[in-house]
Each structure stands twice: as structure tokens, then as C-alpha cells.
Amino acid sequence: MKLLPLAVLIILVLAFPYVLSAVELDTLYLSANLFLEGELFIIAGAPDSAAFYLREALTLDMDSETIFEELFLSLLRAKRFREILAFSDSCEDRFQENPLFWQAVFDASMATLNHSRAERALKRWEKLTDSEALRYARVRFLFSKGDAKGVKKEIKNLFPDGLSEANFFIIPSEIIGLQLASEAKLKETDLARFILSSGIPPGYYNPIYDLLAAREFAKQRGLDTLSLMFYARYFEENSFPVADLAKYLELSRKLGIIPKCPDISSVISFAPSEFEILKTIVLLSPSITQEVERLFTEQALSLSEDAELHRLLANIHLSSGEYDSAIAHFRTSLFLSDTSIDSWIGLIQAYGEKKDTISARKFFETALGRLEDTLSLVRAMESAYEMSGDNASALSFVEHWSSSFPDSEELLFLLGHLLVQTGEKDTGYAVFETIIAKNPNHALAMNYLGYSLVEDSTNLEYAETLLRKALELEPGNAMIVDSYGWLMFKKGEIDSAYSYIKAASDAYPDPEILYHRGRIEEAKGKIEEARESYREAINASPQDERLRERIERALKRVE
């Protein structure tokens, strides 16, 4: 049955030339033909294309209310708000008595934060009709002004018996959201500005209002907010608008109004075959744990092969030390879409973790022929060599590629680091001096060189100069704070050292920082605290084997 209107329109389009040629109405024929083309695109769900044909039709038949209404509705569906406003300037004289004209101008003005124009449109609209759409628009406008009392008054006029007595699923969800937002005494003006600047049309379907409503109902009924939105929208629309779920979650994350991710069983029982719902939760939910992330990802992949989800699952396996599984999923991701540099980099690094640099190099060479971001691939391959413990190959590799990127401070930094790691300290230190000479504000180079000198217990005065400058440049960098604290420790200033390193470990519980904290606690005679710090350092899984051995020796010393 759905094909019948489309077939009729096609017949009309084909037949129209013969009918109109008899009366020589060429302009009218062309306008009608363009109008029907626009209608075909409306039926096909392509409002942008429909708007193109309808605009052309209106230029030929300037006074047609029917063409005008279809054009503005298409522009609204396509969210082309600025175009509506620009076009309305030229046709206001002709259509100012049409309520739809002012409704479109109102919605477009609200979407572009032009509140003065929205107010004018609303007043003109009010003179022509008293429709339900107008009353809802009035509520939205009052909300955008931060007029909580006005919102409550208008909603009272709409629902004299109160929202609680009305059918929840026939009330536009934004009205519930506006009411609840007002009751919750939120900063309506700021929130409205955020809503409108997000690019979502301020019409009857606005995710942020659903979020507001869902949050309050969830509090009252003890429900999870995201699950509540699933059910509310499902029953209201009879199908969940999956395409907008990403916008729900992005907005909620910015506003912080989704407390937790729903458990997988409730989502799957609600929508067992909704691949896009599961995928969007995995990619965007702000509070998902790695275990739940894995479950959602696996469930989504059971419904559809998806490169992005295979890459995500590969990274989960990689972080868990399941290197073979990570490699399998990275390769599947690349089979589905071989243009993602993240999958190539992940695969190269996974082989590095597995200490299979031959395979890592093979995929590195393959990726070089397909992707433009050579520098990122070089960094990934260098990391693979380092993770496999082959610093000599890493050094040779970076030396080779440095000539291709002579201005890359990052490769120069890696070169200096690898020279130090392979025992060529003086040459490595000279590289860091070169970086600092070129960029006097390179805090990381200062930190690396300063910390290395502290570890060598040589030239501590120069090390302090470097680390002080690095700390001034990046006072919140925990690694630099730790370096400076370690310098204080080497100088015998134990209390000062502890304050710095304690702050660094609280901000960033890195294995080496935790080891430093334990050493200082041990020096202060706080053996129990030192033991706990060493244990935390071991549990943080240090990648550096030499660091692990130092921590294990220290732990034995205090046990």
C-alpha cells in the first residue's frame, strides 16, 4: 500500500506535460512538475532534495500557499534554519497571514538563538491562531527566557488538572521536561542556550527535554535514567529513535545528568536486535565499565559486523593482556575498513606487546602504502620495538626515519630517549639539549634531562634549574612534580620530597612514582606505608623490567 501514493505521483509527473501543453501553460506546468518532484523526495525521506525542488517551484509560482508550506516544512525537517530566516525576509509580504510561516520563523529563530526575532514571530503567530502548537511554542519561549513562573502558568493552562492526571505518553515530552526543569530550579536560561546552540531543532522532539523529564521520573521511581528513556520513547513513538541516541548521550555527558549505564540484560530484553542502540551505548555512555563495555560490544557484534566495535573490543583485550584476541579483532576491523589508522596502530602495538616485531613491521610496511599519516605509524612501530624490549632496533628505526622528519621534536625526543636507554647517555643528553635550544619551553625535554641527571646523581644544580623551569611551565604535570620531588630526596630534603611525590602519586598513580613514594616513606621510617606503596607499584603493572626488579627488591626489604 505504501507504494500506491508514489506510483500515482510518478504517473502524474509523466502525464502532466501532455495535459498542460494543450492549454500552453508552460510556467505552471514546470512549477507543478517541480512541486511533484519535491513531493517524491518528501515521500522518500530526503528533505534536503525536496527543499531544492520546492524552492524552484515557488520561484515560478510565487503565490502558491501549498508549495510554500511544503517548502518550509522540508526546510524544517532538514534543519536548515538560517535558510528559512533568509528566505522568509523575501516572502513575508506574501505569506504573513499564514500561521505556518510564523511557526517556521519562530522555530528557526529559536534554533539560531535569535530570541528577539522569535518573540516577534510568536506575537504575529498568536494573532492568527490559538493552536496547540502555538501554546507549546509559548512554553518553550518562556523557558528560553528563564521565566520559570511563566512556564508553570502556561503548562497549567494546557493541563488544568495537572500533568499527573494526564496521560504521560500523549503529552509532548519536552513539556514534561520544561515543567520539571522549572520545578527543579535549574538555570533555565543557560540550559536553554546550550540546548539551542547544540543544533537540535527546538520542536516537539528535543532530546534534552527528555533527559530532564527522565531524570526526575527516575528519581521518583528508582529507575535508571537511560533505561527510562528507552521505555518512554518506545511507548510514545512505538519505535525507539535510534539515530538520535548518540545526541542523547553526548548532551547528557556534557550536562552530567545520566547517573549510570543500564545493565545489559534490561537493554537486551527491551531491544534484543537493536544493534545501533548497543553500539551507541558502548561508544558514548559516560559511566560504562570495561566489563560492561565488553558485554555490550560482544552483544552488538553478534548482531552486525562493525569495524569500530571490533577495534574497541581489540583495545579491551589489549589492555587485559589478551594479545592474540586483540590481534584477531584488529585484523577483523581492518578487513571491514582498512582506512582506520587507529586499527593499524593498535595492531602494530599488539604485536609489539606479544614481542613479535617481525609481524609488527610487516603491518607497518603495509599501512605505509595505504595511509598518509606516516609519523603516527612510525611512532607506533617504535613503541612496538620498545615494548618487545628491542631498544637497539628501536634506535636504528628512529635514526632512519628522523631524516624524513627533520622538524619533528617528537622523533628527536624519542631519539634522545633511546640513546640514553641503550647506554649512549652523553649523546642522548646532547639531543635533549638540542631540543631545549630549539624550543626553550619544551617542558618534557627539560624533565627528561633533569630527571636523568638526578638518577645519575650528577650535576644536581643544573638538574634543579631544568626541573624548576619545567615545573613553572607545567605545574600540573605529575611526572614533572615527581621528578622535582625525587631531586629533593637526592638532596636530602626528605619532608619537601614527600610533599611533592605524595601529590604526584595522588594525581597519577604511576608505578615509578609509587616506588619513589615508598622509598621516601622507608627513609622516614614509615615501614608499613612504604610496604603498601611498593605493593601498589607492583599492582600497577610496570612495563619496565628493571623498574619491576627494583620495586620487588624494595618490597622484600620491608617485608
- On average, the pLDDT of the chain sits at 77
What does the alpha-carbon distance between residue 263 and residue 212 come to, in Å, rounded to a whole number? 21
Contact yes or no for 471/463 (Cβ under 8 A): no
- Count CB-CB contacts under 10 A for residue 335: 12
What does the alpha-carbon distance between residue 163 and residue 165 come to, in Å, rounded to a whole number? 5
Please tell me what DSSP assigns to residue 262. Answer: P
Q: Which domain, by its residues, includes 205?
A: 130-266
Q: Residue written as cell 560490544? A: 297
What does the alpha-carbon distance between residue 174 and residue 107 come to, in Å, rounded to a whole number? 14
Q: What are the tens digits of pLDDT across the range 40-55?
A: 777 766 777 777 777 7
| Over residues 125-139, mean pLDDT | 80
Q: Residue written as cell 603516527? A: 376
What does the alpha-carbon distance between residue 123 and residue 536 come to, in Å, rounded to a whole number? 66
Residue 327's pLDDT band (boundaries 50, 70, 90)?
Answer: very high
Q: What are the tens digits of pLDDT across the range 197-230?
A: 444 344 434 455 555 555 555 555 555 555 555 5
- Count CB-CB contacts under 10 A for residue 275: 17
**343-360 burial, b if ≥16 CB within 10 A, otherwise e?**
bbbbbbbbbbbbebbebb
Of 401, 412, 400, the C-alpha closest to 437 is: 412
Cell (9 digits) for 14: 509523466
Report how far Cα 482 is from the mean position of its chain's Cα atoms: 31
What local confidence, expressed as pLDDT, does residue 448 receive? 94
Length of the chain: 559
Of 99, 164, 88, the C-alpha closest to 131 is: 99
531 domain residue, yes or no: no
| Over residues 515-531, mean pLDDT | 92
What does the alpha-carbon distance between residue 394 and residue 405 come to, in Å, rounded to a whole number? 16
Cell (9 digits) for 313: 573490543
91 domain residue, yes or no: no
Of 421 and 264, more confident: 421
The identity of residue 57, as a single letter, is A
The identity of residue 112, as a single letter, is T
Cell (9 digits) for 465: 634549574
Q: Model's pTM, two decimal places?
A: 0.58
Torsion sign across C-alpha atoms 62, 67, 69, 73? negative
211 domain residue, yes or no: yes
What does the alpha-carbon distance between residue 405 and residue 416 come to, in Å, rounded to a whole number? 15
The set of residues, in sequence order, having a beta carbon less than 8 Å from that of 363 and lying 6+ positions away, is: 344, 347, 348, 351
259 domain residue, yes or no: yes
Domains: count for the chain: 1
- Count CB-CB contacts under 10 A for residue 291: 10
Q: Which of 12-16, 237-241, 396-400 has the lowest mean pLDDT?
A: 237-241
| Over residues 302-323, mean pLDDT | 90
217 domain residue, yes or no: yes
Contact yes or no for 483/489 (Cβ under 8 A): no
412 domain residue, yes or no: no
Helices (H), 145-242: 148-158, 173-183, 188-197, 207-221, 225-237
**Gyration radius from the chain CA atoms:** 32
What does the alpha-carbon distance between residue 469 and residue 487 come to, in Å, rounded to a whole number? 14
SS3 content of the chain, % helix, strand, coil (to 5): 75, 0, 25
What local confidence, expressed as pLDDT, does residue 349 receive? 94
Q: What are the tens digits of pLDDT across the range 498-513?
A: 999 998 888 888 889 9
Of 240, 250, 293, 292, the C-alpha closest to 271 is: 240
- Asked if pLDDT for residue 168 goes beyond 50, the answer is no
248 domain residue, yes or no: yes
Residue 196's pLDDT band (boundaries 50, 70, 90)?
Answer: very low
- Asked if pLDDT for residue 487 goes beyond 60, the answer is yes
What local confidence, expressed as pLDDT, does residue 249 receive? 62
> 2 vs 5, 95, 237, CA distance in Å?
7, 32, 20
156 domain residue, yes or no: yes
What local confidence, expressed as pLDDT, does residue 140 receive? 73
